[in-house]
Amino acid sequence: MHVPKNTGLGYMLRPIYFSFCFSQHTLIHTIHLAPPRIYTHYTMVFSKFARSALLLIACFACFCSGYTILGQLDESILPLTAADFQTTTLMLLAPNAAPIETFLKKSGQFTFSNVSVGSYVLHLQSITLTAESDYRVVVLKDQVLVNKLFAGHDWQKDVGPVVDYPITLEPIIRNDFIEQRESFSPFKMLKSPMVLLTVLSLGMVFVMPKILDKLESMGTY
């Protein structure tokens, strides 16, 4: 098939050559396409696209650089309720830094992503659940160290026993804000001081006349 020269169809069917070369911080994207005016246009478009793509990749790499901290709740508190998921937040707290927050999974596990090297306090904040203590988490380049913390102690110098990693928060207590109504029981009524006084008074009314009659018949009254 003969393609007329210098026509739009000819330009479309001409070979297009793509070469991608990555240097230190530059993506070279060249397109060999005739005529030169179209070639220049596509080169500028793809150059801008390449720069934008590199910028996004660099930002994503900076954002995702860090470590992942794994943990879970004590199995005795499972299964979790809908209120537990809605009201529970786990936080890694550090001085002069914004807290890193995460939420619980259905299995009771939790994950902190993009955690930098440093020392943190792991705290469980919830309406329905209460952790007995917080934990100190030290993130190093090759390991994660975890210690229990006690209230009133320095979280950096005076720490508690070592805890295995991945972290298991235990014990966890479920907060009960609804008190069950006591069922009716006649024995509980008899324990009331007012009821005891009433029974004693009625007993004296019926018993005292009989005692007086016996004393009178014996001639001692």
Worst-scoring range by mean pLDDT, 28-32, 166-170, 179-183, 204-208? 28-32
Q: pTM for this structure?
A: 0.54
Contact 132, 171 (CB under 8 A): yes
Nearest CA-CA partner of 120 in 97, 142, 141: 97
120: burial class by Cβ within 10 Å (0-12, 13-18, 19+)? buried
> How does residue 21 score in pLDDT terms, banded at 50, 70 and 90?
very low
DSSP label at 75? G
pLDDT at 83 over 50: yes
Give all domains of the chain, ordered by start, each with its CATH number.
8-61 (no CATH), 67-174 (2.60.40)
pLDDT tens string 45-54 = 556 656 666 6
Spatial neighbors of 122 by CB under 8 A, at least 6 apart, are 71, 90, 91, 92, 93, 134, 135, 136, 137, 146, 167, 169
Answer for the pair 122, 102: CB distance below 8 angstroms, yes or no: no
**CB burial string 9-26: b at 16+ within 10 A, e below:** eeeeeeeeeeeeeeeeee
Q: pLDDT digit string (tens) for 61-81? A: 444 557 899 999 999 998 999
Going by DSSP bridges, is the β-strand pair 17-22/89-93 parallel, antiparallel, or unpaired? unpaired
pLDDT tens profile 85-109: 999 999 999 988 899 999 999 899 9
Q: In 33-192, at which residue ranges do the beta strands (DSSP E only) sit?
A: 67-73, 89-93, 100-102, 109-115, 118-125, 129-131, 135-139, 144-148, 162-163, 167-169, 172-174
Mean pLDDT score across all residues of the chain: 75
Please tell me the number of Cα atoms within 13 Å of 40 on its side-chain side.
Answer: 3
Mean pLDDT in residue range 206-212: 82
Residue 62: its pLDDT value, please? 47
